[in-house]
Chains A and B, each alone.
Chain A
Amino acid sequence: MGSSARKKKEKKKDFQKTKLKVGKAKQKADNVTDTSFRSKSITVNQQSLTTTAPSSFSQFSHYVSLASSSKSDTQRKDALSYLTTQLSSQPVNASMPLPTAILLPKLIPLILDGSPAVRSQLLKFLRLLPPAEVGDRAEQSLLYTRAGMTHLSAPIRVDALALLEWLLEVAQEDIVTCPGGWVKTLKSFMSMMGWASSSGSTKWTSASRASFGKAGKAFPRQIIMLAKFLQAGLVEESSESLTSTSNGLFPLCDVEVHMIPARSNAFAHLNLFGSSRDEEGEMYIDREERQRVFATKFQPAVMEGLENVKKEAGEAGRAAAILSKALREGMVDYSGIDDTQ
């Protein structure tokens, strides 16, 4: 048949010698491997090919941008760890390559990053920033902290709590007084712990927590952080500095009050230039104000939740004890008379 003839021919072809032709390149063997390659660029990882190496400053800013906007997880993490080593290894009194005012807004969104490694590296990095400069950026940092606390993903929530812990350590006063810092953060706590209730519906069942799941181990930690936060906002600072100065020269008492304020934007609470704020976004400068807002808006929910947790005992129970202590201390001198209205 025809097909077999064709097959025979094909079989024969393998053993035939190819004819060489004048002026043509030699034919390639069938089993030749193509080793040519094309690439747009050759990347050398570690070496700098320029004759003048980039300055440490430019390298630092490069890594900052890499950390904040790179597409790959590892690259972001590596950039952050580079920044960390740079900051930790520099001499004590040397000024930072970039000021906190630039670094913090660029890097704080990484708390919402999907990769856990990046987030933990970010927390390590933030601890190296000078505490004094963080206070001015408290509002912005808190925005991302709150977003992290209400995030769908549980690990991000945990890391956001760690971020809040750091913020409370370095800028306790600013955190609770900045616009929205008190009420909104408390609200985030409520929703994170499942103690919030809808304004519309009556409470029928206890929280179903379909998406947040049982907080498990993280729950005691959340309670402890809430305790810390309440302590920061409600418990009075031991005013040693005040007493020390008042003992000074006799006629000059309460001088600080009449001097030009040392902190930045001292009249921010008047909100002269910004858009109008609602109750949630308001600044609560006084301790009494914070107490009042807490008592009217959050205390019932917190007390109720606390009762439930105490029954659970275990680690959560112990944490609840800390929280109730903080509550007692904070609200001990609250008169309950609402004189603002």
Chain B
Amino acid sequence: MPKKRVGALEKVDADLPNLQYKIGRDPKSYTEDFLNQYGQYQSQRDIFMASPTTATSSGIISFRNLIDFVAHVADCFPEDTAEFPEDLKTILTLHHAQLESELREKIVGSLVLLRRKDIIDSSSLLNTLFPILVATPSKTLRSLLFNKILSDLRTSNQKAINHRLNRTIQTALFNLLTSDRTSSKGIWAVKITRELWKRQIWTDSKAVEIMKEASLADNEKVIGSGVRFFLGGDKEREELEDESSDDEAIDVGKLKHQIGINKKTRKGKKSVEAAVKKVRQNEKKKNAPHPLNFSALHLLHDPQGFAEQLFSKHLNNGKSKLNLDQKLLVLQLVSRLVGLHKLTVIKLYSYFTKYLTPRQPQVTSFLASLAQATHSLVPPDAIEPLVQKIANEFVSEASASEVASAGLNAIREICVRQPLAMSDILLQDLVMYRKSKDKGTMMAAKGLLSLYREVGADLLKKRDRGKKATMGIKSGTIKERRFGEDEVGGIEGIELLEEWKANERKRKRAETGLPELGTDEEDEDENEAEEQAGWDNWDAESDASEDSGGWIAVESDEEINISDSEDDEPAAKKIKLDKSATPNPDAEKGETDQNPEKKVSKLATTKILTPADLAKLQELRLEASINKTMGAKTKAQSDRIKEALARHADDALTADQIEGFSKLRKSTKEEMIALAREGKGERGEHKSTQAIRKSKKEAEGKSTTNKEKSRKKNFLMTLGKAKYKQKRSLTQTKRVLQGHIERSKRGGKRGNIGM
């Protein structure tokens, strides 16, 4: 029923917002009025409860407005409104399906308002809203509830992590998933968890457990969303963080400049102050220690069990109803887990056999998954037939070039992870494809060749081995790696770092004019200064007095119930930068184990590497491996190799990388246009470059030149001067010309003083 017309007199009477305002100012004086309204609310509530479906919000004041009013002033009359939240909860839980939408939204909003006023606590609010979110058929209500639940969880975790609340909610979500595995209601648990994971509110293993349960559900939707979380949740989180860190870059200098030019107002001053404050805050945030976030895959309790369950339930199960895409997702997750944690799921490899044909849809994804599932502890017997099959099915003269290159790429990716899966005959056969006419195939074959020059040169024909490998085999430095053998000790590339550091020092000394080799003391001083700088770059909080640089005490869940037992050691010991006291245990062990004749770098044993050092180390490693790989003649090639090497072992292998160089086909027109446009800026309409430049300048708030200004000047304003110019006497003209010369010498009207 629509609103009825409200008479003038009634309007005054029915002015709830006015009364609300008055009560807000002075609750005591308006107690009577509030009680009257509350009585009205109660009678309306009774009417409503008597027949929720037929009761209409007729009359001058609707039930909705009364609820709103009471919710707003409830904090002023806690005793009188003690049962108000309960009323709302019962109305919502019992009748949410029949309520008209506006009233429903108002009730939800009022409950949240009561929560904000601390009249009810978060857990009771969430326990009310969550069952409705799961049960309601209304889409709008669902989205409303979802938002409210999320925002409430966020606000209650804002100041400090509210462990108790999180735990109850997590338990509720977990129970929702485990109680009925076939229902699609679990999707809400997944959605909430994913959102909170993304915002770094839930970063613990319990959230991961929830997602694990979701991936093991029986409903396709729930499975899909759970698996997607593991495959993409962490990336999403990182992206959000990046986004939030680089938004709103305020240029304080520009603002100050503008204030200096424009009229000085209080408002302008304030805006500058606000901007400065904001910039400071941003800087503080930027320098704050980075919270330790483990990826979801690392937080899993029992990855082996999880991977086995996933595999046997969704993939190796005739009754599973998943379609190919969903199966691929699950397969990606399983292979990711296997590769990352070096698990052993032997059945997985035979499962791949039937999918490895060129006609299989999305075969590149299967190939990528297979490569991902391979690691150094997989028995070569399990993979060898697969490699053989890929070679037979994909790589032949008769097959299309894309197919061959995809096959070769896949084989290479597999062999990177388990070099023993290759036999010498097959390898020699495959390496022959480096003479192929097709570029993609050729490059894939070369990649394989360069890989085996490093990891198994004896499998190659003698002439393919290359100089370095041949010499290595002869001198015995390159030995065949056995199955399960691990490289012993040492930090890869540490000697590179040492060398680089020495060079740097030399260079610096040369710059300052000192002899190249200084005394030890000087070196020591320099080292310390350098090191301090290295820490400072990464962590603003470390200063001379408190040198806990770079480390954050990660509080565990148990900290809520702090044990007071006196013999407990202080929980978070601060790690000191005392060099002699804490040698790196790993490196030390490496030192004793290694061959005495091999020169061991002392760097890691004598120093704690700063984050800056580690970054440099990574860079140097990359450089070295690029130099080692063959055939990087052009810049594009070396870039590609660099990209491939920079990929972290934790990162997933995608189908794109398997397709790899077969993309080197002639690009389409659209791609070429996009490439040409790249970096040229937006060109909305057809304009000259000059005009675009000018508008860009204008948009940036930069000023125009004097010439431009004079060009733009109104004609009528120049008219008077022009007319007068013709009538000037000779002396006047002279004075003007001389003035012009003087001005230009001085450098403008005001002059360039101090320039």
Contacts and interface: CB of A to CB of B under 8 A. Distances in A.
Partners in one complex: yes
Across the A-B interface, the 5 shortest Cβ-Cβ residue pairs: A200-B79, A147-B43, A112-B59, A150-B39, A191-B39
Nearest to B32: A207
A198 B13 contact: no
A199 B5 CA distance: 36
A28 B727 CA distance: 64
Interface string B12-42: 0111000100100000111111111101101
Contact of A198 (B10, B43, B47, B79): B79
Contacts of B19: 210-211
Interface stretch (A42-50, A138-146, A320-328): A138-146
B1 interface: yes
Interface residues on A, range: 35 or more
Contact of B59 (A113, A140, A201): A113
A297 to B, nearest CB: 15
A73 B39 contact: no
Interface of A: 69, 71, 73, 109, 112-115, 140, 143-144, 146-147, 149-154, 180, 184, 187-188, 191-192, 194, 196, 198-201, 204-205, 207-213
Contacts of B4: 71, 73, 113-115
B60 A198 contact: no
B80 A212 contact: no
A211 B13 contact: yes
15 contacts: A109-B59, A143-B47, A147-B40, A150-B36, A150-B43, A152-B13, A152-B36, A152-B40, A152-B61, A154-B13, A198-B31, A201-B28, A209-B32, A210-B19, A211-B13
A113 B58 contact: yes
Interface string B480-521: 000000000000000000000000000000000000000000
B30 to A, nearest CB: 6
B34 to A, nearest CB: 8
B75 to A, nearest CB: 12
A326 B39 CA distance: 25
Contacts of B47: 109, 143-144, 147
B33 A208 contact: yes
B44 interface: yes
B698 interface: no
A213 B9 CA distance: 12
A83 to B, nearest CB: 18
Say whether chain A's binding surface is mostly helix, strand, loop, or mixed. Answer: loop
A295 B333 CA distance: 74
Contact of B30 (A144, A188, A210, A213): A210
A204 B78 CA distance: 18
Best-buried of A71, A109, A153, A194 by chain B (most CB within 10 Å): A153
A123 to B, nearest CB: 17
Best-buried of B7, B32, B47 by chain A (most CB within 10 Å): B32
A109 B58 contact: yes
B6 interface: yes
A78 to B, nearest CB: 16
B36 A212 contact: yes
Given A211-B19, A211-B36, 6 more contacts: A147-B40, A152-B36, A152-B60, A154-B13, A188-B43, A201-B31
B720 interface: no
Contacts of B6: 114
Contacts of A147: 40, 43-44, 46-47
Contact of B28 (A140, A204, A207): A204
B77 interface: yes
Given A198-B79, A199-B80, A212-B36, A143 B1 contact: no
Contact of A200 (B42, B61, B80): B80
Contacts of B35: 191, 196, 198
Contacts of A144: 47
B80 A209 contact: no
B50 interface: yes
A114 B31 contact: no
Best-buried of B9, B30, B58 by chain A (most CB within 10 Å): B58
